[in-house]
Every structure is written in structure tokens, then in C-alpha cells.
Amino acid sequence: MKLTIFGATGGTGRHLVQQALAQGHEVTALVRTPAKLAIEHPRLAVVQGDASDAQAVERAMAGADAVISALGPTKPLQPGVYPAAARTIIAAMQRQGIRRIVVVTGAGVPAPQDQPKLINRFITWLLKTLDPQVLAESQEFVRIVAASDRDWTIVRGPRLTDDPPTGKVRVGWVGVDTGVQIPRADLADFMLKQVTDSSRLRQMPMVSS
């Protein structure tokens, strides 16, 4: 398959690119600073640009079969940039006829199936207290993707680690059969599998170790 990956220079994004190439996919990565990717491969194309730049996004998506986003709110936060990226990506997918998109967000973004326990409620309260704008931007990003007519899956993760991959991922909902952390490599592996797995179409599962 030909995949377009956004957020490729981040911790999870690098794993996505490496694993996709290892599995034989063609990858186009849209990055603001190509030098930060530090991956070279015959099946990897790098497009320089920002995910809220419509022209750059169009170039990165040309001929793609599916889109994967490992984007998150900018650091330092630039209000509105993260949701703008969602709108730009969805619009480009519609113009180019690309249906499948898999994105990642944090477990603080709620889903109807969640059954949060006391600790989950405390973590959400902490997020709202310490960084309410980041949570709000994440929720808006997810709202835009979920309101679209594309074939989306929104993967939610808890605390991400740089531990070696375990090959084991628990899939549930907040408060339902999930843990408190997951290696980025395992998260990336799960996201890649969703590209060809329609069993979680238009769902927001939470994954953990």
C-alpha cells in the first residue's frame, strides 16, 4: 500500500514510518523539518511542509491508499493549528478520494463506551486543570475527524513509553480492560494494522500494554 504519514518525526511517528517500510509499504511523510526524520529508504518520500498547509498536504497525499496521523498539539502550543490540520487533511482526502484514515490521540479524549474509574476521572481532571487548551485542541481534532464522511479509526493511548515492543496490545475503553501505559512501538504496530482492518471502523478504542 501507499501510505501518507503525518507527525513522522515524533516518537510514535518514527515507529510508524520504520514499521510501514519494514512491511513493504510505500510511505510519504509530511514533515516540517526533514532533517529530524533521519530515515532513508527507497520507498520513503519526504515532503516538507505543515499539516495545516493545504498545498503541502495535497502533495503528500498524491496517490495514497490511506492516511495515518501521529500528530499532536504543537509545542509550544499554537492555538488552532492542530484542529486546522484535521480540517486540511480531511478536505484533501475528500478531494483525492482517499477513504481510510487512522489517527492517534490521548486517553483523555472521551468515547461513549468509556466507563471511567476514579483514577481515570482524576487524570482527566488533572489534564483539564494543568493544560486545558491542549485537551480542548485534541478534542476538537477528534471531533473533526469523527464528523467526517471518511472511514476513520481514532486510536487512544495512555502514557507512552520508549520501552521495547512487547507484541501484546490490550484493546478496550477507558476503564474497561486497559492499562496505564504502552510502548510507542506497540502503539504504532496497532495503528498500522487498522489500515487494513475494518473491525474498528468509526470507533475510538483505547490501547495499552
Q: How many CB atoms lie within 10 A of CB 179?
A: 13
pLDDT given at position 44: 98
Low pLDDT (below 70) residues in the chain: none
Q: What is the pTM of this model?
A: 0.95
pLDDT given at position 183: 98
Class of domain 2-208: alpha beta
pLDDT given at position 76: 78
pLDDT given at position 120: 83
CA distances 183 to 61, 151, 156, 164, Å, are 28, 26, 13, 7
pLDDT given at position 182: 98
pLDDT given at position 143: 98
pLDDT given at position 132: 84
Q: Give 18-73 pLDDT, tens digit per residue.
A: 999 999 999 999 999 999 999 999 999 999 999 999 999 999 999 999 999 999 98
What residue spans define the domains of the chain? 2-208
Q: Please identify which residue in the block is written with the cell numbers 498545498.
A: 55
pLDDT given at position 41: 97
pLDDT given at position 19: 98
Of 86, 98, 87, which is closest to residue 28 (Cα–Cα)?
98
